Amino acid sequence: MSEAVRVRIAPSPTGTLHVGTARTALYNYLYAKRTKGTFILRLEDTDEERSREAYTQDILDGLHWLGLHWEEGPDVGGPFAPYKQTEKLDHYLVIANELEKQGKAYWAWETPEELNALREQQKSANDAPRYDNSGRNISPEQIEKYKAEGRKPSLRFKIDDNEAVSWVDAIRGEITINASELGGDMVIVKSNAVAIYNFAVVVDDIDMEITQVIRGEDHISNTAKQILIYKALGKKMPEFAHVPLMQDIERHKLSKRKHGEAVHVDSYRRKGYMPEAIVNYLAQMSWTPADGKEIFTLEEAGEMFDMSKVSKSAAVFDLQRLNWFNGHYIRSLPLSLVTERAKAFLDPDQIKSFTDQQLEEIVASVREGLTTLAEIKEPTNFYFANELEIPVEVRETVLGPASARQVLEKTLQHLAQMPWSDSKGCKDAINNIGKELSLKGQALYFPLRAALSAKTKGPDLGTMFSVLGEKQVKARIESAMGLC
């Protein structure tokens, strides 16, 4: 019987949730679903200076918004809290001290100034930066001298430069890195007794029995270092899979420094993107289902996901492509759901006088033309306006002809007979008015549109009548007639 699959996403709360991190989380989540495994969230929060509770909350909220709910945590029940590295600092020290006792690690006493001087020397010689391993052979007398000076040592893990580190990556195939390229003996516990990432992550993955580590390709050199630690601890390492990084359309790395809020997941929520669209787009950036399907739900993706089909090539984040997905979901998701989400982008004081059915009609009348929900305010603002300001050019070209007044007058005469709760019926009634006047098309519709919305383009005219209702329609037509 094969072991149960356990995967994790392990972001650091030193910044907001990056779209690249979200995609990595998504691939972990989909792999867990496809294999009936467990998806876990762990926060690597040992960077005390840069970690922020606000970033933690942003990460949690972003993953939940995308529907990527983790299935385990330090608490009982759910929704679960994430695991946190800061809750295990003593445990890391216990494991690290064992390595030191076995001669696989040692306490190094260099000051930050001495290490910086070494880096500057290497830079001047055009050498790659690396620790020179000089701390391996410090005498007991020298250690006592350093203690007397008040120095605080860091614990370094011994790396044999002659070793070649190899593994079969689930996406990239066989990878081999010479240990001499890893920068010398690496710090695993800082002088403040806090475990370094490359050590803590191995201990965590062992403790959590992680079977697959799915993360960005920028971690490939870290993986080589971590494999050496697995070997030193005598533990089985997980299978590794390194997904390609995300680039912009000009093939630059997608980064917070260069692209700002464009990489922040929550910025898309605030702009009115649908989480279903974000998930669909991120999933297919580097992976295509065997059947070539382009539109799929999170649940469908979880049934189809195949790690071996993830591309090795860099993924290009194309906003126009994302917009296409978003427009699709605005048009295809249940109207009630789209309407509920659209409320966040409308004035709460204005919409409270409308029923849920009316709001759904309003959203339905414009959603075909929306790319994001944030765009909904402009095409619907006339529904909520107390007074309309009809532009001069509309007054002259649309309300100026004598036929415009005829349309408005005849419509006023028929208001009592309008089937107000039926938008299609309202449109049919308008067309019948046109037959009486021998008018159709722009000559019939534009005067009414101008009167009701101050525009000549917009939602279905029948819907406008139905939503605004008899009182508003009457008042707006009478006002427009004063301009004819």
Number of domains in the chain: 4
- Asked if residue 194 and residue 104 are part of one domain, the reply reads yes
Pairing of strands 173-178, 164-169: antiparallel
Q: Judge whether residue 185 has pLDDT over 80.
A: yes
Sequence-separated (6 or more) residues with CB below 8 Å from residue 424: 462
- Asked if residue 74 and residue 117 are part of one domain, the reply reads no
- Asked if residue 342 and residue 296 are part of one domain, the reply reads no
Average pLDDT, the chain: 94
Question: Is residue 95 very low, low, confident or very high in pLDDT (cuts 50, 70, 90)?
Answer: very high
pLDDT, greater one: 399 or 274 = 274
- Asked if residue 482 and residue 399 are part of one domain, the reply reads yes
User: In the sheet that 186-189 helps form, which strands lie side by side, from edge to edge?
Assistant: 105-108, 154-157, 186-189
User: What pLDDT is recorded for position 474?
Assistant: 95
Q: Residue 104 falls within a domain, yes or no?
A: yes
Please, which residues bridge with residue 83 across strands? 42
405-422 residue pLDDT tens: 999 999 999 999 999 989
Q: Judge whether residue 1 has pLDDT over 50.
A: no
- Asked if residue 184 and residue 113 are part of one domain, the reply reads yes
User: What pLDDT is recorded for position 75?
Assistant: 80
Question: Is residue 58 very low, low, confident or very high in pLDDT (cuts 50, 70, 90)?
Answer: very high
- Asked if residue 423 and residue 379 are part of one domain, the reply reads no
Q: Judge whether residue 192 has pLDDT over 70.
A: yes
Q: Taking Cα atoms as reference points, which of 41, 43, 39, 55 lies closest to residue 85? A: 43
Q: Residue 218 falls within a domain, yes or no?
A: no
- Asked if residue 282 and residue 366 are part of one domain, the reply reads no
CB 38 within 8 A of CB 71: yes
The CATH number of the domain holding residue 358 is: 1.10.8
Exposure of 160 by Cβ count < 10 A (0-12 exposed, 13-18 middle, 19+ buried)?
A: exposed
Q: Residue 44 falls within a domain, yes or no?
A: yes
- Asked if residue 75 and residue 57 are part of one domain, the reply reads yes
The CATH number of the domain holding residue 395 is: 1.10.10.350
Calpha distance 5→213 (Å, rounded)? 11
433: phi then psi, degrees, rounded to nearest 5: -60, -40
- Asked if residue 389 and residue 368 are part of one domain, the reply reads no
Kindly state the average pLDDT of the residues 271-290. Answer: 96
- Asked if residue 106 and residue 75 are part of one domain, the reply reads no
Pairing of strands 186-189, 154-157: antiparallel
pTM of this structure: 0.91
Q: Residue 414 falls within a domain, yes or no?
A: yes
Q: Taking Cα atoms as reference points, which of 209, 191, 210, 190 lies closest to residue 199? A: 190
User: What pLDDT is recorded for position 292?
Assistant: 87
Residues above pLDDT 70, as percent of the chain: 99
Calpha distance 12→31 (Å, rounded)? 22
316-344 residue pLDDT tens: 999 999 999 999 999 999 999 999 999 99
Q: Where are the alpha helices (DSSP H) in 219-347?
A: 220-233, 256-259, 265-270, 275-285, 298-304, 319-332, 335-342
Q: Judge whether residue 282 has pLDDT over 50.
A: yes
Kindly state the average pLDDT of the residues 41-70. Answer: 94
User: What pLDDT is recorded for position 387?
Assistant: 86
- Asked if residue 18 and residue 49 are part of one domain, the reply reads yes
The CATH number of the domain holding residue 98 is: 3.90.800.10
User: What pLDDT is recorded for position 376?
Assistant: 97
Q: Residue 439 falls within a domain, yes or no?
A: yes
- Asked if residue 75 and residue 108 are part of one domain, the reply reads no
Q: Which of 384, 401, 416 is the last residue of a domain?
A: 384
Q: Residue 221 falls within a domain, yes or no?
A: no
Q: Taking Cα atoms as reference points, which of 443, 464, 434 lies closest to residue 399? A: 443
Question: Is residue 2 very low, low, confident or very high in pLDDT (cuts 50, 70, 90)?
Answer: low
Domain that holds residue 284: 6-81+246-316
232-261 residue pLDDT tens: 999 999 999 999 999 999 999 988 889 999
The CATH number of the domain holding residue 257 is: 3.40.50.620
Please, which residues bridge with residue 210 across strands? none
Kindly state the average pLDDT of the residues 212-220. Answer: 97
Q: Which of 142, 176, 200 is the last residue of a domain?
A: 200
Which residues have a catalytic role annotated?
A: 256
Q: Residue 219 falls within a domain, yes or no?
A: no
- Beta-carbon-side half-sphere exposure of residue 324 (alpha carbons within 13 Å): 9
User: What pLDDT is recorded for position 484?
Assistant: 77
